Structure 1
Amino acid sequence: MIFIFHLLDKPGAGELRQRIRPQHKDYLGAVADRIAFAGPLLADDGQTMVGSLLAIDFADREAARAWLAEEPFTKAGVYAGSSVHAFANLWPQKTGFPST
């Protein structure tokens, strides 16, 4: 089942986020074949990262929460808050959107 991770950064966590980002990307790489989509949430300037939105397939909520507990941004204290929800993808994905 796909789980959505809605993760919001602590105020002023930008420098910490940038420092931990390589480990975060490596950790995501370990589940790359199960990622429906993933990326940073951005401030209104379209540049400043303020959180993360991830959609990843896990067997159950317990596995999703266990994965999040070991996620580098979580362990480093980047996030002020997090929520994890089961998700049913009922709309076909569009192609051709720009990615960064």
Structure 2
Amino acid sequence: MLYALLCNDKPDHLQLRLDTRASHLDYLNSLGDRLKFAGPFLGDDAKPNGSLVVVEAPDLAAAKKIAANDPYAKAGLFASVDIRPWNWAIKNPDNK
């Protein structure tokens, strides 16, 4: 099952995001094939203000664990994280 992690940064926490970015990227890369894709949301100023991460997990509890172990989450960057089951229906490379 795929899960979309919709993460919203706390206001005025850009420096925390920048300071934690390398460990966040290392963590995402450590997920291997469980990570389907990821990237930042951008504000009107074109600066990152949240993240979209799509992961494969056996259940919601496992997806929550992945989200909780993200260095951004551990650093307190996010104001909120919404985790929702997601169906990759269009342009899914696994559905050829």
Report the 3-state secondary structure (helix = DSSP H, G, I; strand = E; otherwise coil) of the residue aligned with 2:20.
Answer: helix
Partner amino acid for 1:6?
Answer: L
* Counterpart-to-counterpart distance in 2, 1:17 and 1:33: 24
Partner amino acid for 1:34?
Answer: R
Return the offset for 1:93: 4.5
Identity %: 34
Return the offset for 1:63: 0.4
Determine the structure 1 residue equivalent to 2:85.
Answer: 86
Partner amino acid for 1:28?
Answer: L
Unaligned runs of 5+ in 2: none
> How many residues are paired up?
93
Matches within 5 A, 1:1-100: 1-46=1-46, 48-93=47-92
TM-score normalized with structure 2 length: 0.90
CA 1:32/1:45 → structure 2, altered by over 3 Å: closer, same or farther? farther
TM-score normalized with structure 1 length: 0.87
Which contiguous aligned blocks of 4+ residues in structure 1 show a shift greater than 6 angstroms? none
